A and B are shown apart, each in its own frame.
Chain A
Amino acid sequence: MANGAIHNRDTFLQTIAKRLGREPITSTVLRPDWKHQPQWTVFQGYSQDDLLEVLKSQCSRIHTDFVATTADALAATLKQTVAQYGGGPVVTWNDPRFAEYRLMPLLQSEWPNEQIDVHIWDASAGRKNIEWAEKANVGITFSDITLAESGTVVLFSNSGKGRTVSFLPQTYIAIIPKSTIVPRMTQAAAYIHKQIENGEQVASCINFITGPSNSADIEMNLVVGVHGPVKATYIVVTDR
């Protein structure tokens, strides 16, 4: 991709430097070692099982249904959850994990045979994908990193992992391998920071999603389900 343009930068930054009483900085600035780093102590020493419990209890505070299952039972659990949400249409990421977790038969034959439309994200179909997502009753993605403290799934976009799958459909299901659970956002941020330091390109969209969409703009009354999904379920795969 061609570089973008930068306008009016020099005078702008010179003004800042001047106000700060020095010349513009030309050498590299190193971040200091912050004197306090309480973020690293949250759930320090927690096992994966402990973190799962934290996640579970947080779900009740973010209006999100929590379901624990195993890799073997995942397809059945997913099917049941979608049925509870009233069935299709379903839209999912095009993500190798669906095959890895043996969900392709469900997506490709079981549901279609039951007249449940399934759209797997297909970059070659262009903006048609957005129409699918918009009409979908259920959007399904895997979680790339899961934050126990806040009950958050972290989603990195790419050509197969469309952004809108998680927020355009009426309801949303995240499949969470237990191994993706970390204490809090600190670990996710550190992971991404490392990627950048290693010269990797960060995803154009990283979503930190915590339950369904909501608003308290009317008299501070909480309304769940405003622009994004009105309901959300986390399905945790406890043996992965």
Chain B
Amino acid sequence: MSMKIGTDPFHERVETGINNSFMRGAVAGAQERLRTRRLEAAKELGNWEEWRALGEEIRQHTLEHLDYYLMQLSENVAKRGGHVFFAQTAEEANQYIRDVVIKKNAKKIVKSKSMVTEEIHLNPVLEAAGCEVIETDLGEYILQIDDHDPPSHIVAPALHKNKEQIRDVFRKKLAYNKTEKPEELALHARKMLRNEYLTADIGITGCNFAIAESGSITLVTNEGNADLVTALPKTQITVMGMERIVPTFEEMEVLVSLLTRSAVGQKLTSYITVLTGPRDEGDVDGPEEFHLVIVDNGRSDILGTEFQSVLQCIRCAACVNVCPVYRHIGGHSYGSIYSGPIGAVLSPLLGGYDDYKELPYASTLCAACTEACPVKIPLHELLLKHRQVIVEQEGKAPISEKLAMKAFGLGAASSLLYKFGSKVAPSALQPFTADQRITKGVGPLKAWTEIREFPAPNKERFRDWFREHKKGGEQ
């Protein structure tokens, strides 16, 4: 699956992540800042819960009528002279884009940040077609010149790198000779990229929200790179996940307000650009030719299932920014370009359980993600649903766990069995017990006691005490 990053097994990726102390420091610091900013931005509005409810309602309505709105969108794009390609699979999308590139005899392509093109693994296809592909989002650019290091966060892709690492990469790859100051690094990138925009044949963008009523696409950035990518090259190709659509400008506005506040705590980002078709006659800048590629790539299989609400996602990463698991293991541990809670829900759906069966378990179900989500996706409940599917349909749960849970079902449903089991537990665990606690357990207790002490079951259960207490016995 193309959204996959790395080949190491899950527990090894986690170990690598946990041992990467710089990454963890960077992630923890970023989470703290972004979380605070998001809360402040929400507080400033005063009625954030109403906004969330509106966001949810808009997304649910749109998904329920998705075919209608995609029909309307495509008609309106075509009316304005743009071309629309509906791609069922990643391969179809890549094939179409490749064909456009070849037809245009393009040599240089500039891109603004797009998760879906990462998902369909577009860049290698373009490079194989003989193109130079340049990512222009600063974070993506850093990763690209660092031998295609994968993104670790859906909004801040280079979050895992520190400025010294970036300086070294710039020195090695871009003949950079200044310091690790972010201002100097950014200025250098600006200089390097300016010329690329001016000489590129094609600009490729993602799409934050398509607007059905007008056939427009909305791009949200702080850097302004999407404006340059779409204003200068003669051909523009925009790639969107099929669910990234709203009925009208009015819903776009609401979702953009939710997105920028949730992602970075800003009321709006510096550049929000709404583009409709190619440039108008008489216009000087903007593309002569516009292609919109609408990608399914597994999304339709989610529609109509218990997981449908995950398609409400507007890719703000608020869930990632509050996730304690993400904080300790970092984005690469998820093995997918989609990391954090949204990644743990989405990756198994788009990429299958074979590659991502551990992700639904990499959560304490603390619900910080659900609480943060601006469009009210019940993320922790969807993780639970995954576990249920893994147990009931996929049969991927370990046999020992199945037996234990069977026993649990019987035991907890029968007071007699429960009473008996709990009565004998202290003596069964006696060999491992010392001083009222268990330090070295066996079975599932072993994993617990590798980290912490475990209290030995009391000889006198609460129920035994209560019986005496009620009798008026001492205590």
Distance of A211 Cα from B232 Cα, bound (Å): 21
Inter-subunit contact B67/A218 (CB<8 Å): no
From A19, A202, A213, contact of B271 by CB (8 A) = A213
Query: Which residues 54-96 of B have a CB within 8 angstroms of A?
Result: 54, 57-58, 61, 64-71, 74-75, 77-88, 92, 96
A227 touches B193 (CB 8 A): yes
Query: Given A15-B296, A123-B284, A226-B225, do A149 and B78 touch, yes or no (CB 8 Å)?
Result: no
Neighbour of A149 across the interface among B34, B74, B267, CB < 8 A: B267
Q: How far is the CA of A104 from the CA of B233 in the complex (A)?
A: 32
A84 to chain B, nearest CB (A): 20
Q: Are A189 and B278 in contact, CB atoms less than 8 angstroms apart?
A: no
CB within 8 Å for A38 and B51 given contacts A123-B283, A202-B214, A217-B158: yes
Per-position contact with A for B239-279: 1 when CB-CB < 8 Å, else 0?
Answer: 00010000111111110110000001011111111111111
- Alpha-carbon distance A130/B228, docked complex (angstroms): 11
Bound together, the chains give a CA A69 to CA B216 distance in angstroms of 36
- Judge whether A208 and B273 touch: CB under 8 Å: yes
Q: Which residues of A contact B185 (CB under 8 A)?
A: 218
Question: Which residue on A lies nearest to B70, using beta carbons?
Answer: A13
Q: With the chains together, A187 CA to B248 CA distance in Å?
A: 13
CB-based contact B268/A24 at 8 Å? no
User: Which residue of chain B has the shortest Cβ distance to A15 in the bound complex?
Assistant: B300
Name the distance in Å between B112's Cβ and chain A's nearest Cβ.
Answer: 10
Instruction: Tell me how far the C-beta of B201 lies from the nearest C-beta in chain A, rounded to whole angstroms.
Output: 14
B54, B162, B276, B285: which contacts A219 (Cβ < 8 A)? B162
B83 A19 Cβ-Cβ under 8 A? no
Partner of A204, one of B163, B269, B275: B275
B282 at the interface (CB under 8 A from A): yes
**B125, CB-defined interface residue at 8 Å:** no
Q: Are B249 and A193 in contact (CB under 8 A)?
A: yes
CB < 8 Å neighbour of A207 from B29, B273, B278, B281: B273
Contact call B66/A3, Cβ cutoff below 8 A: no
Report the stretch among A28-36, A45-53, A106-114, A137-145 that lies at the interface: A28-36
B79 touches A223 (CB 8 A): no
Chain B interface residue count, CB cutoff 8 Å, equals 113
Q: Which residues of A contact B264 (CB under 8 A)?
A: 216
- For the complex, give the distance between the alpha carbons of A184 and B47 in Å: 16
Given A38-B47, A185-B268, A219-B26, answer yes or no on A9-B88 (Cβ-Cβ < 8 Å): no
Are B296 and A129 in contact, with the CB atoms below 8 A? no
Please, which residues of chain A bring their CB within 8 A of the CB of B71? 9, 13, 25
Instruction: Indicate if the CB atoms of A4 and B70 lie closer than 8 Å.
Output: no
Q: Are B67 and A223 in contact (CB under 8 A)?
A: no
Q: Most B CB atoms within 10 A — which of A123, A149, A205? A: A205
Interface residues in B121-163 by Cβ distance below 8 A to A read 136-139, 142, 156-159, 162-163
How far is the CB of A35 from the nearest CB of chain B, in Å?
A: 6
For A157, list chain B residues within 8 Å (CB). Answer: 280, 283, 286
- B187 partner residues in chain A, CB cutoff 8 A: 225
Q: Say whether A219 contacts B182, CB under 8 Å.
A: yes
The distance in angstroms between the C-alpha atoms of A185 and B261, with both chains bound, is 14
* Chain A residues, CB < 8 A from B278: 1, 204
Find chain B residues with CB under 8 A from A1 CB.
Answer: 80-81, 277-278, 280-281
B186 touches A218 (CB 8 A): yes
- Report whether B138 and A5 are in contact in the complex, using a CB–CB cutoff of 8 Å: no
Interface contact B286-A25, CB-CB below 8 Å: no
Question: In this assembly, does B222 line the interface, its C-beta being within 8 Å of a C-beta of chain A?
Answer: yes
Tell me which residues across on chain A come within 8 A of B216, comparing CB atoms.
202, 206
- Asked if B138 and A217 make an inter-chain contact with CB atoms under 8 angstroms apart, the answer reads yes
What residue of chain A has the Cβ atom nearest to residue B48's Cβ? A38
Q: Cα distance A134–B182 when bound, in Å? A: 24
Cα distance, A100 to B223, chains bound together (Å): 33
> Is residue A83 contacting chain B, with contact meaning CB distance below 8 A?
no
Q: Cα distance A30–B288 when bound, in Å?
A: 33
Contact A217 B81 (CB under 8 A): no
In the assembled complex, the CB of A156 is this many whole angstroms from the nearest CB of chain B, namely 10
- Docked complex: B9-62 residues within 8 A CB-CB of A: 26, 29-30, 33-34, 45, 47, 50-51, 53-54, 57-58, 61
Question: Is A217 a contact partner of B156 (Cβ separation < 8 A)?
Answer: yes
Chain B nearest CB, measured from A105 CB (Å): 26
Q: What A residues does B29 contact at CB under 8 A?
A: 219-220
Q: Are B138 and A16 in contact (CB under 8 A)?
A: no
Which of B75, B88, B224 lies in contact with A228, CB distance below 8 A?
Answer: B224
Interface assignment of A162: CB less than 8 Å from any CB of chain B: yes
Interface centre among A42, A134, A208, A211 (most CB of B within 10 A): A208
In the complex, chain A residues 211-237 whose Cβ is within 8 Å of any chain B Cβ: 211-221, 223, 225-229
Contact with B along A117-135 (1 / 0, CB 8 A): 0000101011101100010
Nearest A residue to B162 by beta-carbon distance? A219
> Closest approach, in angstroms, between the C-beta of B308 and any C-beta of chain A?
9
Q: Are A31 and B248 in contact (CB under 8 A)?
A: yes
CB < 8 Å: which of B47, B50, B80 contacts A4?
B80
Contact B285 A163, beta carbon cutoff 8 Å = yes
Bound-state CA distance A217–B143 (Å) is 11
Measured CB to CB, the nearest residue on chain A to B222 is A214
CB of B239 to closest CB in A, whole Å: 14
A150 CA to B462 CA, complexed, in Å:
59
Whether a CB of chain A sits under 8 angstroms from the CB of B213 is yes
Task: Tell me which residues across on chain A come within 8 A of B248, comparing CB atoms.
Answer: 31, 189, 193, 196
Asked if A218 and B138 make an inter-chain contact with CB atoms under 8 angstroms apart, the answer reads yes
Q: Are A7 and B283 in contact (CB under 8 A)?
A: no
Chain B residues with Cβ under 8 A from A42's Cβ? 45
Q: How far is the CA of A10 from the CA of B33 in the complex (A)?
A: 46
- Given the known A-B contacts A217-B139, A220-B33, A228-B224, are A31 and B61 also in contact in the complex, defined by CB atoms under 8 Å? yes
Q: Given the known inter-chain contacts A126-B284, A217-B156, please indicate yes or no for A210 contacting B250, CB distance below 8 A.
A: no
- Measured in the bound complex, the distance between the Cα atoms of B83 and A17 in whole Å is 23
Residues of B within 8 A of A44 (CB): none
Contacts of B267 in A (CB 8 A): 58, 149-151, 210
How would residues 184 to 198 of chain A score, 1 for a CB under 8 Å from any chain B CB and 0 otherwise?
A: 111011101100100
Cβ-defined contact, B268 with A8, below 8 A: no
CA distance A203 to B216 in the complex (A): 10
Q: List 13 A-B contacts (CB under 8 A).
A: A4-B83, A5-B78, A16-B66, A42-B45, A123-B283, A127-B284, A167-B227, A189-B248, A205-B230, A210-B270, A220-B159, A226-B189, A228-B228
Closest 4 CB pairs of A and B: A228-B224, A159-B282, A217-B139, A189-B253
